[in-house]
Amino acid sequence: MRQTAVAAARAAGKLLKAEFKTFKRSDVKVKGYTQLVTSADKKAEDIIISSINEAFPGHHILSEESGDNGKRSDCFWIVDPLDGTTNFSFHFPAFAVSIGVAFKSEIVLGVVYLPLLDEMFVAEKGKGAYMNGQRIKVSNYGPQRAFHTFCHGGKKCDVEKAIGYYSYLKPRDYDIRQLGSASMELAYVACGRTDSIFIPGAKPWDVAAGTLLVSEAGGRVTDASGQLWSLKSKDMIAANGLVHRSILDVIKKV
């Protein structure tokens, strides 16, 4: 499964890199509140799903654009072929391919590929997290020196919760930003480029792969109440161990 996921992510990334050079903003379609979709999403998704079906025809697959294939299997693939569609459509170079695999509801494989940077992040349960074959770890910065990020789900209430979080931290001189690609931001927490991410309304295809990257890199991944994150969780916090508790405290206030 690791080989299939990595190869599929790289192939989809190659397509996205080519599409990024020629994409026209006028080709964007709106599919929901704050959500866009492009032809590149579907082309990349076709590559990934075809690869999975060829190798594992009986496996369960959930993909952002095509939805659930309805198959019953202990192995569950969770795919976002283009995480950061808005960035992509505006020619902002921050987007990723995300492929996670769960076995009996536990994430056991996570692959996040950043095509423009040619950075492949891979984590397997109990085997650590890697970027381009090199072991990665979360940072060791505390709350005041941390680089925080946030994202949001597709509902208005999620956006409002994210804005409340930002509005609490920013005036208090915390460094906090939104990069616009949850899987990319999770990969960045895993390798220590950033120190935390809070995502209200986190969708499984956006975060399944990245949550394993963070946990295998030594970080903490929970819901907004501090319970371990699962595929059923509504919100998600991923951070190094030094800042995780402070994020939970802030969320209780906003």
Condensed to tens digits (0 to 9), the pLDDT of residues 60-99 reads 999 988 899 999 999 999 999 999 988 998 889 999 999 9
Percent of the chain with pLDDT over 90: 80
What architecture does CATH give domain 2-135? Answer: 2-Layer Sandwich (3.30)
How far does Cα 126 stand from its chain's mean position?
20
What residue spans define the domains of the chain? 2-135, 143-253
What architecture does CATH give domain 143-253? Answer: 3-Layer(aba) Sandwich (3.40)
The pTM of the full predicted model, rounded to 2 decimals, is 0.93
Burial 43-53 (b: 16+ CB within 10 A, else e): bbbbbbbebbe
